[in-house]
Amino acid sequence: MAGYLTTHVLDTARGCPAGGLRIDLYKVEGETRSHLKTLTTNADGRTDEQILPQDAFETGTYELVFHAGDYLDASGIPPESPRFLDVIPLRFGMSEAAHYHVPLLLSPFGYSTYRGS
C-alpha cells in the first residue's frame, strides 16, 4: 500500500464543513521546515486533491498549518484583537506507507484533531 495524506475541517460552532480555509503543508527535518504546498478547503471542508499524494509521499515529520483566523473572519464570527485562534499548526509523524487522515474540528475558542481513517 502506498501512503498519502488527507484532511477534513469541520466548523463545530456552526455545525458545518469549513469551506474556504487555507492550509499550508510543511516537511520538518530537524530545525528545517520546508513549505511543500498550499491548498484551500472546498464546500465539504476537504481539499480537492490529496494533501500529500502517493507519488510524493515520504515518511517523516510534517506540519499542517490551518489559517483559522482568516476563515473565522470570512464566516462572520466577530473578530477579537487579537483573535484567540488565528493560525493553528499541527505537527505529526508519518511512520509507514498508509493513509494518514488528519482532520481538524474548529470553533472560535478551541480545536481538536486525531488520526482518522
Residue 80: per-residue pLDDT:
87
Residue 79: per-residue pLDDT:
82
Residue 1: per-residue pLDDT:
63
14 sits in the region (left: phi over 0; alpha: psi -120 to 50; else beta) called alpha
pLDDT digits (tens, 9 = 90+) for 66-116: 999 999 999 988 888 899 999 999 999 999 999 999 999 999 999 999 999
Residue 66: per-residue pLDDT:
98
Band (pLDDT 50/70/90 cuts) for residue 117 is confident
Strand pairing of 9-11 and 104-107?
parallel
Measure the N-to-C terminal CA separation of the chain; round to a whole number of Å.
14
pLDDT digits (tens, 9 = 90+) for 12-47: 999 999 999 999 999 999 999 999 999 999 999 999
